[in-house]
Structures are given as structure tokens and as C-alpha cells.
Amino acid sequence: MKEKEVTNVVIDPAGETGEVNPADNVFPKKATESKFDQMKKN
């Protein structure tokens, strides 16, 4: 047992599982803009 707290977890960083949406393999979630928000900027 460790005394440190887990701050970040990445599942399959090499992309070997054939995941459809690799953005959901990270904890905590990274802030990303939706396609709608990207279009509003332009």
C-alpha cells in the first residue's frame, strides 16, 4: 500500500486495443471542445 494519492490514470496509451473513442481512457477527464464549440469560434 502506498501513501501517495493517484492523480492520473491512462489506459492503453499506445492505442493497441482498437478503442473507438480513446478520449475516454483517461482519468480525470481532459477538457475538450465539442465540434459545435469549435464551429462557433470560426
Look at the pTM and tell me if it is higher than 0.85. no
- Are the C-beta atoms of residues 30 and 8 closer than 8 Å to each other? no
- Are the C-beta atoms of residues 11 and 4 closer than 8 Å to each other? no
Q: Which tens digits make up the pLDDT trace of 1-42?
A: 789 888 888 888 887 887 777 777 787 777 778 888 888 887
Single-letter residue type at 39: M
pLDDT at residue number 20: 79
